[in-house]
Structure formats: structure tokens, C-alpha cells
């Protein structure tokens, strides 16, 4: 676990404790998050998960904004309970009042998407091009049939594949 990340989480908790004049239970912090999300707060498990790739690529903003964003979710949950909106006024109060940060719902980090192979299926209709996922292509090979919505003909694999 990067030390800066743990330090920032602790700093956020100390700021909240100073602001609200009470203690808060510390969360388990994990770097086991992949995909497009920078961080996730699991309220009932008191767990914070962060995306190590996005952390490495955006360290400064990640430490400042993303960590505070996720900690604010846990603090709001401990203060106000289950019946609040994830990015509602209670969470926004913490972002603005405690951390003096804008209550941005989403990050703007550049996320690299993995490439995906599409299997091209066709029917007798003009300009018919149906890109199937690997999973759907596999189902066809196992005997499943898909029909064109216009002509109701069975879609047939053209032999073409495209990487997106």
C-alpha cells in the first residue's frame, strides 16, 4: 500500500474529527479496484478501494480529490446513516465544509479502455452489419440463433472480425 495514500486517508479522518469534534472508525484501505472507477467506498464494510492504475497516473489530484471524495462517503454514512443520497447534501457538506473541495461526483482521469474483438454477422438486408461480442459469438457456435429484426433471417458469421 503506498504510504502517501494511507497518510492522506488518515489526514482526511483527522480533519473530519477536528471539524465534527468526534472520532470516526478507520476503514480498511485496499488497492484492489480496476476499470473506470477511481475509488469506491463500501459503507457497511467500512472499506475503501482505490484503483492503483489511476492512482499512479494521477497521483496529485487523486490524493487531493479522490481520497477525500471516498472518505467523505464513509464519514457521511457514520454521521447520518443509510437514508442519505450518495452525493446528496450531507456528502456535499463534508466535501465543502471539511475538505474545502468541490463536491465533484466523477473524476476526469484519462481511462485506457482495453481493446475488444467483435465478430461480424450479416443477413440478406442491405448494409447489414451486426458486431457480436466473443460471448455471443460463442453462443452461436453452441447452436443459438439470432434473427435480423427487419427481415427475420438468421444472422450468419461473415468470417470478419474487428478490434475496437
Cite the active site residues.
70
At 126, list the grid cell: 442491405
Contact call for residues 71 and 48 (beta carbons, < 8 A): yes
At 53, list the grid cell: 492504475
Please state, in angstroms and as integers, the Cα–Cα distance from residue 87 to each residue in 8, 17, 92, 106, following that order. Answer: 21, 20, 7, 10
DSSP-based three-state secondary structure for 3: helix
Please check if 73 is assigned to a binding site.
Answer: yes
69 exposure class (CB count in 10 Å sphere: 0-12, 13-18, 19+): buried
Please state, in angstroms and as integers, the Cα–Cα distance from residue 29 to each residue in 37, 48, 162, following that order. Answer: 15, 5, 39
Please check if 77 is assigned to a binding site.
Answer: no
Strands (E), 80-163: 117-122, 130-132, 156-163
Bind-site residues for Zn(2+) = 69, 73
Amino acid at each position: 500500500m503506498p504510504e502517501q495514500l494511507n497518510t492522506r486517508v488518515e489526514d482526511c479522518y483527522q480533519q473530519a474529527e477536528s471539524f465534527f469534534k468526534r472520532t470516526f472508525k478507520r476503514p480498511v484501505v485496499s488497492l484492489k479496484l480496476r476499470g473506470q472507477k477511481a475509488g469506491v467506498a463500501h459503507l457497511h464494510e467500512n472499506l475503501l478501494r482505490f484503483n492503483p492504475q489511476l492512482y499512479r497516473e494521477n497521483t496529485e489530484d487523486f490524493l487531493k480529490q479522490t481520497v477525500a471524495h471516498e472518505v467523505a462517503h464513509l464519514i457521511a454514512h457514520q454521521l447520518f446513516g443509510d437514508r442519505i443520497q450518495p452525493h446528496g447534501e450531507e456528502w456535499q457538506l463534508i466535501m465543502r465544509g471539511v475538505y474545502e473541495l468541490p463536491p465533484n461526483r466523477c473524476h476526469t482521469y484519462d481511462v485506457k479502455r482495453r481493446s475488444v474483438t467483435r465478430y461480424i454477422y450479416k443477413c440478406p438486408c442491405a448494409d447489414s452489419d451486426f458486431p457480436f461480442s466473443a460471448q455471443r459469438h460463442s453462443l452461436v457456435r453452441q447452436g443459438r440463433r439470432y434473427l435480423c429484426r427487419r427481415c427475420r433471417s438468421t444472422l450468419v458469421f461473415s468470417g470478419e472480425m474487428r478490434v475496437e
